[in-house]
Structure 1
Amino acid sequence: MKILKRVLLLLISVVLILIVYNYPKLNIIAGYSAKNMNSSVFLAGRTLQFTDSTDNHFSPINLASDLVDVDTKSASSSVFGLLTRTAIYREGLGSVLITDDFDTSVEVRVPKRTKPDNLTAFPLGNAEQKDSVLTDVNYNKLNKTVGNLFTNHTQTRAVVVIHKNQIIAEKYAKGFTKNARILGWSMTKSIMSTVFGILQTQGKINVFDKAPITEWQNDDRKNITINNLLQMNSGLAWDENYNEISDVTKMLFLEKDMTKIQAKKQFAGKPNETWSYSSGTTNLLSGILRNIFKTHQEYLDYWYTQLIDKIGMNSMVIETDMAGNYVGSSYAWATPRDWAKFGLLYLNNGNWNGEQLFDASWVDYVTTPTNGSNGTYGAQFWLNANGQFPDVPKNMFYADGYQGQFVFVFPDQDLVVVRMGLSHIDINAFLKGVLESIK
């Protein structure tokens, strides 16, 4: 009997040690699951069952159990009943993961939106295009290339291919349509960068100025420029590790104000000499954007009036953190067609239906390789300047998000390609097939 008691005591001790050791991780797991569930159900219009079996069905997120309350538009997730996190939905702002002390009764400001143009044909509006066939496109080869992505292991949800302003291929997985909002994850970074480009063109900011961060003014960090931040070349320390408790997971799932965590970091290198991918840097830039405007309402409106709704990305919603900052690193949702419109804006060098939203030189700026990135990164855009995709033109550039969200822009081929899904793909092979379909 004594031996049995000792064994039970040992097992209980081991379990308690494991719980204590892993408890912080449970916070991240439950937080991810709750936030993703809430956005999927209330912003994207999917079901709890669908989201649990797809978006949240990977280790260790699948350890969480989810509940949805339609009346309060909230989602809660717990891991073994040990810890529960909650996310709430707010119309116009999307979903936000909240802490226990968050006051849900406080009225929040929301961005002012314009009505969608459902009469004008895509891409200038949202109506269907007139049927037409481009003579320089091998549609059989193109459709086969696109179709190859829709297998069980690729988990592709949508592909849209646009050539000469015409949709030449479009395909969706079961359960998805052209009206389905899909999370772009880090493609949001490219949206945020573009807001800077518009402000730069309007003369409201100079990206080569020193970053206006108060706590940096008494040390060497005062020399960091906005340009360094846009190029992720500030030299500041940052841990972008999604598999552990790291800077990025703490920011996304624990912080009330996501714009501040990167600002607290010290140097791990030197500005313009140490490229390091950092979602914290992008959210710091979102905070800089907010401080440019006199009011919070102006900050909320500007992204939509000057960019998103301006080019008819009416489905897009960029979610905010608890402090009301746009989570520029990660949380833009839109239909694949609207993501394609974003690519078209860059294909047309910032011109949309005769209006120059940002100067053509901004395209040159964001596609100039950052020091230390080996030709793979510009200013919140990814590049092929080093030929990492050998069968793809080196001047192709793209927005890139977690789990294989892509908007590829081909300046010389008058081509935009969007792919969205839940897993990565062989980018070179896919794009090679698309390019070979165009004579």
Structure 2
Amino acid sequence: MKKWLKYFLFLLLAGIAILVYIYYPALNIVTGYSSKNMASGIFVTERDQTSLMEYDNGFFPISLADYDVNIEEKSVTSSLFGLMKRKAIYYEGVGAVLVNKDEDALTSVIAPIRVQQSLNMPYPYGKLQQKDTLFEEVNYQYLESAVDNAFDKEGEQLKQTRSVLVVYKDQIIAEKYEAGFDKESLMHGWSMTKSFTSTIYGLLQRQRGLDLTGTTGLEQWKADERKDITYQNLLEMNSGLEWEEAYFNISDVTKMLYLAADMGAMQIDKPLTGTPDESWNYSSGTSNLLSGPLLRAQFNSHQEYLDFWYTELLDKIGMHSAVVEVDQVGNYVGSSYAWATTRDWAKFGLLYLHEGNWNGEQVLDSSFVKYVATPTNSSEGRYGAQFWLNAGAYFPDVPADMYYCSGFKGQYVFIFPSQNLIVVRTGLTGDPTFNVNEFLKEIIASIS
């Protein structure tokens, strides 16, 4: 063999070795995401593997993953070129759980107790059909066009919208779904789950007198400056704790979601790098600290902790399709893992639109509703308490009092207090690929 060929092969192998060394840790994230998303898609939403591979897991490098789906075990094992196998297992009531090793599988699963009442009323308070109602102030032709514009034209895959629902004065005035989805399809909320977490704290404040301005009392923080961090600081993402939120590389958030057994513990271990109430920093770790260790400490048993989310919030407002998934220690992943139908996501928005009142019952204090929509310091009017805001006119053609739940890849529940309006959009692309400002501008323009 010629010397130059030997030299070339040596450099090639050396280059491959370097690439493997650099990117091998990322395989854990890739196969973790692949197996978890596939398991939830198959066993929570009951979609088929082919569709999930083509669309939900169809982006690089997730698209390179291979899958072993075990229907009997209700598990999905993913690998990349045969390397770094990761398994996610579905458990009834708590969804798909990504496990680090087979021995980490949940051995005793506690499922939340669901109480589902079907009221003899039309949507949103029951399952009866709504009465045909025409509002003179609504230009239905313009509205239909605005909704149609949110979806791709035939042959395109740009906006990738899956559903749009418009609710005006408690009436559905527009609803559309991409082919393969309908009003019964469960949609992944991703970070819209954070708004659930915030709401749970609002319920604890109302029902049990939890002082949100009080400190957390975490044992790990008692000996340093972190002892002064309050629940309110955490709810507002303004604790000053270190955290890196980057989804397309190895960061705190990807290590938490796809490597950590106890997701809420990661933020506990982070140092203080800013000043509480002066250092806004978006952090899914903060949300899981709130929904995991801190929230669990408010209840006498794990069953009570699991049940509270449904009995006092989700099932109470008729979100009977909703599923919130847990981590390996059985705590809710309050940053990212909630599922519900588009119509049920709208119900959550309606709870806030009606200032915490649901069908005559005051579920949340109206003061808490006002609180979550109030800008936190140093967020430039973009964030409240686990809700996003438009107070700083981020969307220039949208009312400033609009606030919203927002999730990865463009999941939205928009709340318009001044317009008595809720708009839900789900899909696979977010702003700016999906132009939120233009979308909402057109919707609002149809109602005068």
Match in the other structure for 1:383: 389
Task: Tell me the SS of whatever aligns to 1:67.
Answer: strand
How far apart are the structure 1 equivalents of 2:284 and 2:429?
20
Q: Which one of the candidate residues 184, 189, 205 is aligned to 1:184?
A: 189
Amino acid at match of 2:89: I
Q: Does 1:210 align with 2:219?
A: no
Distance apart, 1:421 and its partner CA: 0.3
Contact 2:106–2:328 (CA under 8 A) maintained in structure 1 = no
How far apart are the structure 2 equivalents of 1:105 and 1:85?
15
Distance apart, 1:54 and its partner CA: 0.1
Match in the other structure for 1:47: 48
Match in the other structure for 2:358: 352
Give deviations 1:64-103, integer Å, cap 9, x for gaps: 1122111111111111112111101011000011111534
Q: Does 1:200 align with 2:205?
A: yes
Distance apart, 1:130 and its partner CA: 2.0
How far apart are the structure 2 equivalents of 1:130 and 1:45?
31
Match in the other structure for 2:31: 30
How far apart are the structure 1 equivalents of 2:106 and 2:377?
47
Match in the other structure for 1:409: 415
How far apart are the structure 1 equivalents of 2:368 and 2:374?
10
How far apart are the structure 1 equivalents of 2:417 and 2:104?
48
- 1:165-314 maps to which residues of 2 (within 5 A)? 165-286=170-291, 287-314=293-320
Contact 1:212–1:288 (CA under 8 A) maintained in structure 2 = no
Task: Tell me the SS of whatever aligns to 2:405.
Answer: strand
After TM superposition, the structure 1 stretch with the greater mean CA deviation from structure 2, 138-147 or 54-63, is 54-63
Structure 2 residue ranges without an equivalent (≥5) = none
State the identity %: 54
Task: Tell me the SS of whatever aligns to 2:273.
Answer: coil
How far apart are the structure 1 equivalents of 2:79 and 2:57?
13
Contact 1:158–1:421 (CA under 8 A) maintained in structure 2 = yes
How far apart are the structure 2 equivalents of 1:187 and 1:82?
33
How far apart are the structure 2 equivalents of 1:342 and 1:169?
18
After TM superposition, the structure 1 stretch with the greater mean CA deviation from structure 2, 382-391 or 99-108, is 99-108
Give deviations 1:99-118, integer Å, cap 9, x for gaps: 11534361210100012517
Task: Tell me the SS of whatever aligns to 2:32.
Answer: helix
Match in the other structure for 2:437: 428
Contact 2:119–2:125 (CA under 8 A) maintained in structure 1 = no
- 1:102-181 maps to which residues of 2 (within 5 A)? 102-104=103-105, 106-117=107-118, 119-151=120-152, 152=156, 153-181=158-186
How far apart are the structure 2 equivalents of 1:374 and 1:83?
42
Contact 1:116–1:126 (CA under 8 A) maintained in structure 2 = no
How far apart are the structure 2 equivalents of 1:64 and 1:204?
48
The TM-score normalised by the length of structure 2 is 0.96
How far apart are the structure 2 equivalents of 1:381 and 1:403?
16
Distance apart, 1:9 and its partner CA: 3.6
Distance apart, 1:8 and its partner CA: 3.0
Contact 2:116–2:318 (CA under 8 A) maintained in structure 1 = no
How far apart are the structure 2 equivalents of 1:329 and 1:212?
21
| CA RMSD across the alignment | 1.2
How far apart are the structure 2 equivalents of 1:118 and 1:173?
29
Distance apart, 1:364 and its partner CA: 1.1
How far apart are the structure 2 equivalents of 1:210 and 1:168?
44
The TM-score normalised by the length of structure 1 is 0.98
How far apart are the structure 2 equivalents of 1:182 and 1:79?
27
Runs of 4 or more above 4 Å deviation: none
Distance apart, 1:431 and its partner CA: 0.8
Q: Does 1:336 align with 2:339?
A: no
Task: Tell me the SS of whatever aligns to 2:21.
Answer: helix
Contact 1:190–1:380 (CA under 8 A) maintained in structure 2 = yes
Distance apart, 1:119 and its partner CA: 4.3
Match in the other structure for 1:62: 63
How far apart are the structure 2 equivalents of 1:315 and 1:214?
37
How far apart are the structure 2 equivalents of 1:105 and 1:121?
40
Distance apart, 1:10 and its partner CA: 3.3
Question: Structure 1 residues 374 and 298, CA, compared in 2 at 3 Å: closer, same or farther?
Answer: same
What count of residue pairs does the alignment treat as equivalent?
A: 439
Question: Structure 1 residues 426 and 105, CA, compared in 2 at 3 Å: closer, same or farther?
Answer: closer
Question: Structure 1 residues 118 and 72, CA, compared in 2 at 3 Å: closer, same or farther?
Answer: farther
Distance apart, 1:127 and its partner CA: 3.0
Distance apart, 1:385 and its partner CA: 0.5
Question: Structure 1 residues 105 and 235, CA, compared in 2 at 3 Å: closer, same or farther?
Answer: closer
Question: Structure 1 residues 105 and 225, CA, compared in 2 at 3 Å: closer, same or farther?
Answer: closer
Contact 2:237–2:280 (CA under 8 A) maintained in structure 1 = yes
Contact 2:346–2:423 (CA under 8 A) maintained in structure 1 = yes
Amino acid at match of 1:114: V
Give deviations 1:341-372, integer Å, cap 9, x for gaps: 00000000000011111110001110110100
